[in-house]
């Protein structure tokens, strides 16, 4: 494995790793957006269920309180139908007891009516939110799933390309490359004029001279990335030059 082949392999690897990083970031963002939308829909469904259960319980309680009022009216009617004093006294006691109980519950009934009205408003609001989110999810989920599948396929293809490039790099050099990449995000830098292309620090003359020999990689003393010498591109010929 020549130095030139190692440089080419690492340059390709660095470029591919940048693509993989962007693809992975995009894939994770798409996956999170879909997951968040599903979680939001599920949370709203659970709120709807709780609100409906709570409203049903309050409606049942209100029915029980209103039933007590009906019992008071029936007891009054019973009192009017009494034929003996004994029956009348018993009916009167029943009416008084029921009226006392009903008076104690009237405030509860007023509060309950307010709570029920508030619960119905919240239920309508949550139902509307759920309808909006469910509609958005229904419209976007197929496209999101297709995009995720495409991104996953692209990632798998890039990983195969990466494996082919890794096979071209010396194992010890690749270990150094990976160690730096995991710490820094990027592991490769070049120099053409004695300056590190990654952190722009001026290299020591001895290190630069070593890199000029192009027989091994160096390491930047500032950013610790792998360093190699890259010749400056030749200036393009001036197509406009020439005599009249």
**How do residues 51-109 score in pLDDT, each as one tens digit?**
888 888 888 877 776 776 676 677 667 666 776 777 777 767 776 776 666 666 666 66
Q: Is residue 123 part of a domain?
A: yes
Nearest CA-CA partner of 230 in 182, 185, 186, 198:
198
| Residue 59 and residue 152 in one domain | yes
Token digits of residue 41 = 């829909």
pLDDT at 144: 87
Last residue of some domain: 149, 166, 183?
166
pLDDT at 241: 46
Q: Is residue 243 part of a domain?
A: no
Give the distance from CA 8 to its chain's centroid: 38
pLDDT tens, residue by residue, 100-109? 666 666 666 6
pLDDT at 117: 83
Q: What is the pTM of this model?
A: 0.65
Low-confidence ranges of the chain (pLDDT < 70): 65, 68-69, 71-72, 75-76, 78-80, 83, 91, 95, 98-109, 234-244
pLDDT at 126: 84
| Residue 179 and residue 124 in one domain | no
Nearest CA-CA partner of 23 in 182, 156, 218:
156
Last residue of some domain: 166, 186, 213?
166
| Residue 88 and residue 204 in one domain | no
Distance CA 42, CA 40 (A): 5
Distance CA 57, CA 54 (A): 5
Distance CA 27, CA 178 (A): 22
| Residue 115 and residue 182 in one domain | no
| Residue 145 and residue 198 in one domain | no
Q: Is residue 182 part of a domain?
A: yes
Nearest CA-CA partner of 191 in 147, 223, 159, 157:
223
| Residue 106 and residue 209 in one domain | no
Token digits of residue 24 = 């992975």
Under a CB-based contact definition with an 8 Å cutoff, are residues 76 and 95 in contact? yes
Which domain, by its residues, includes 153? Answer: 3-166
| Residue 121 and residue 189 in one domain | no
**In this structure, what CATH number is given to the domain that contains residue 78?**
1.10.287.1490
pLDDT at 242: 45
The phi, psi pair for 227, rounded to 5°, reads -120, 145
Distance CA 12, CA 228 (A): 14
| Residue 81 and residue 153 in one domain | yes
| Residue 95 and residue 193 in one domain | no
Number of separate domains in the chain: 2
| Residue 156 and residue 180 in one domain | no
Cα distances (angstroms) measured from residue 209 to each of 37, 39, 212: 57, 59, 5
Nearby residues of 20 by Cβ (< 8 Å), 6 or more positions away: 155, 158, 159, 162
| Residue 32 and residue 125 in one domain | yes
| Residue 41 and residue 131 in one domain | yes
The phi, psi pair for 210, rounded to 5°, reads -65, -40
Distance CA 184, CA 178 (A): 10
Last residue of some domain: 166, 187, 218?
166
Q: Is residue 100 part of a domain?
A: yes
Instruction: Centre a 10 Å sphere on the Cβ of residue 108 and count the other Cβ atoms it contains.
Output: 12
Q: Is residue 242 part of a domain?
A: no
pLDDT at 239: 43
């Amino acid at each position: 494995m020549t130095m030139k082949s190692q440089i080419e392999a690492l340059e390709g690897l660095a470029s591919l790793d940048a693509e993989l990083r962007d693809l992975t970031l995009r894939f994770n963002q798409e996956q999170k957006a879909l997951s968040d939308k599903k979680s939001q829909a599920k949370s709203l469904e659970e709120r709807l269920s709780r609100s409906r259960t709570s409203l049903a319980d309050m409606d049942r309680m209100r029915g029980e309180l209103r039933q007590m009022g009906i019992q008071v009216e029936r007891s009054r009617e019973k009192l009017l139908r009494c034929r003996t004093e004994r029956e009348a006294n018993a009916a009167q006691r029943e009416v008084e007891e029921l009226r006392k109980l009903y008076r104690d519950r009237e405030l509860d009934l007023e509060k309950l009516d307010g709570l029920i009205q508030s619960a119905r408003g919240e239920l309508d609001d949550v139902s509307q939110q759920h309808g909006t989110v469910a509609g958005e999810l229904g419209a976007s989920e197929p496209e999101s799933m297709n995009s995720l599948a495409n991104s996953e396929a692209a990632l798998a293809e890039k990983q195969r390309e990466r494996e082919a490039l890794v096979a071209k790099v010396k194992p010890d050099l690749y270990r150094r490359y990976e160690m730096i990449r995991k710490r820094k995000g990027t592991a490769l830098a070049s120099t053409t004029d004695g300056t590190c292309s990654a952190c722009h620090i001026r290299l020591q003359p001895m290190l630069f001279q070593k890199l000029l020999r192009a027989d091994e990689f160096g390491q930047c003393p500032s950013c610790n990335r792998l360093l190699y010498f890259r010749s400056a591109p030749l200036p393009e010929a001036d197509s406009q030059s020439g005599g009249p």
